[in-house]
Structure formats: C-alpha cells, structure tokens
C-alpha cells in the first residue's frame, strides 16, 4: 500500500445508522418509530428546547458466522436497505425492503454491474436483534429455488458495549428560524441517566449519522456542520468519537479537517470521502492512500 499521507487519530479516540425517529429522544438501537405532532418541546432548563424529529442514520457492519458474507445494513425504519457481499466471489447485491418490528424482508435491486440480475431475484429475510446486533436470516435465490440460512454478527466485536439514546436540543430563541442542533444529551439506556452533554458546536437538524467510523466496534456520532455560515452542501462534518477508555464522546479535529461525506468500507476498513480522498484505518492511524 502506497501511503501518501498519515494522520493519527487522537490517542484518546482510537484505543482499540436506516433511521430512527423518536419523540424527544432517539434510541441508537431502536427498531420502532415513534413521533409526536410538535416539532419541538421546551426544555425544563429554559435555555434550550427539545428537537423531536431528528433522524438517526445507523449503519451496521455485519459478517456471517461462516465467514463468507459481509453485510452493510441500514435498518430501523420502514424501508431498510442493505448491501450483501460474497467475500469468496467479491460479488455484491443491493437490497431494499420493509421492516416491521424486528422482522426485515428485503428484495434485491437491479445491478448495473450484473446485467443478469433482475429485481427480486434474491430475497433476504430475517430477525434483527437490535441490542446485540445479530441478524438471523434466510437468503433465497428465487429462480433456482435455493435457500441458505445465515447468521450475522457485528464485524467488529467489543465486550460490554454500552447502549445509549440521545436527546437533541436547539437554543430557545424565538428570533431563530432555523432549529440547529447545539446540544446533545447522551443517556444510558439501562439507567436512563444523562452520562454526558455534548456542546460547543452547531449542526443541521435533518439527520445525524451513527456508525463505527474507525472500525473499533463502537458507534460514533457524525453531524453536518452549520457553524461559520456553512451550508450542508459544503460537506463539512462534526465528529464525536466514542472513547471506550473514558466512556465519553470526544471531538476529532483530525477528521473535521477533511471535507466530504464519509462512506465506510468495512471489508477493507477504509473511509471514502467522495471527493477523491480515500483513507485506510490501521492500528490507530488514518493513512491517506488516494
């Protein structure tokens, strides 16, 4: 691998989401969508009001227990999507479908890379355990009437992985037309207590990404930066990386210097920022390879 440049994640950051909308809070692993009619509710602290309709895009990276398949899964909404890659043949199939509770029913899409593949040729149906991240499914090849039972587990495993849900806030200022996210409460799912408040930033409120950007097994928060007059189209992002040593989310100044949306390749453990920049994550180092 030819390394053009090397960038090290902060030592405290590397030691080792399809959307969910909840009323006033967002559970990172929830599979049920719940909404209220009001866009915001006033915080008891008075200075902030609660944003109820922030959507979390959660990306799960899973590997089959037989080692043959890698699955990128975006679940948690009524229309989940996924990409299934056969690691033996390097063939990928894209899926879309429906979700009801923990049940996912996905059908393959037409592939520009494979003219022989028609929509619905493959089906991937199964039960997703939102807590453990495991997915027990059946892969059905329609034309050949073949069914293969598969079990997927998180591709990057960690012990005692914490479960959080989040509450998003905007300043309680009647003169402000745009409800930017300027505070996030991180709440422990078991105790229901606030374990951290994230402040000192300004982000757009349409959606937040929750995915393991440094492939350490812990999910990180990624927001679209609205500070200094930036537009969402500028593709600047705020990165709150989870640090398992401190059990806290911390800003990554290194990643925030890179412009572009981070697309993850869990198989190669690479980040493609869709602007011609590709980085390899290896041993806590972020190496620019293109």
Cβ pair 176, 218 in contact under 8 A: no
- Strand pairing class (237-243; 81-86): unpaired
pLDDT at 55 over 50: yes
Tokens of 284: 């806590």
Q: What is the pLDDT of residues 149-179, one digit of tens each?
A: 999 999 999 988 999 999 999 998 756 667 8
CA distance 187 to 290: 38
pLDDT at 74 over 50: yes
CA distance 68 to 94: 16
Q: How far is CA 110 from CA 91, 106, 120, in A?
A: 14, 13, 8
Domain 62-154, CATH number (from 1.10.10, 2.40.128, 3.40.190, 1.10.3210): 2.40.128
Q: What is the pLDDT of residues 210-258, one digit of tens each?
A: 999 999 999 999 999 999 988 888 899 999 999 999 999 999 999 999 9
Q: In the predicted model, what is the mean pLDDT of residues 84-99? A: 95
Sheet with strand 278-282: strands edge to edge: 5-8, 285-288, 278-282, 270-272, 263-265
More reliable by pLDDT, 165 or 117 = 165
Q: What is the pLDDT of residues 31-54, one digit of tens each?
A: 223 233 334 455 545 789 999 889
Query: What pLDDT does residue 45 have?
Result: 56
* Cα separation of the two ends of the chain: 10
Nearest to 52 by CA among 163, 181, 238, 193: 181
CA distance 245 to 224: 26
For the chain, what are the domain ranges?
5-56+160-288, 62-154
Task: Centre a 10 Å sphere on the Cβ of residue 177 and count the other Cβ atoms it contains.
Answer: 6
């Amino acid at each position: 691998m030819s390394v053009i440049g090397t960038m090290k994640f902060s030592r405290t950051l590397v030691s080792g989401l399809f959307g969910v909308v909840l009323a006033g809070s967002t559970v990172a692993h929830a599979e049920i969508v719940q909404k209220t009619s009001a866009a915001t509710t006033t915080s008891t602290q008075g200075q902030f009001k609660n944003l109820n309709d922030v959507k979390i895009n959660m990306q799960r990276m899973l590997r089959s227990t037989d080692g043959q398949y890698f699955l990128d899964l975006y679940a948690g909404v009524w229309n989940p999507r996924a990409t299934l890659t056969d690691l033996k043949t390097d063939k990928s199939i894209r899926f879309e479908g429906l979700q009801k509770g923990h049940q996912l029913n996905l059908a393959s899409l037409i592939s520009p890379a494979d003219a022989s593949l028609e929509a619905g040729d493959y089906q991937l149906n199964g039960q997703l355990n939102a807590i453990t991240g495991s997915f027990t499914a059946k892969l059905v090849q329609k034309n050949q009437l073949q069914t293969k039972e598969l079990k997927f587990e998180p591709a990057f495993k960690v012990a005692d992985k914490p479960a959080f849900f989040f509450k998003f806030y905007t300043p309680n200022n009647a003169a402000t037309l745009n409800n930017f996210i300027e505070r996030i409460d991180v709440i422990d799912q078991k105790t229901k207590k606030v374990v951290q408040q994230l402040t000192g930033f300004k982000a757009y409120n349409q959606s937040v990404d929750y995915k393991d950007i440094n492939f350490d097994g812990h999910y990180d928060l990624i927001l679209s930066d609205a500070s200094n007059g930036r537009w969402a189209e500028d593709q600047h992002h705020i990165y709150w990386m989870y640090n398992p040593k401190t059990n806290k989310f911390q800003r990554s100044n290194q990643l925030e210097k890179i412009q572009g949306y981070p697309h993850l390749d869990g198989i190669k453990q690479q980040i493609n920022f869709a602007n011609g920049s590709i980085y390899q994550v290896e041993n806590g180092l972020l190496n620019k390879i293109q």
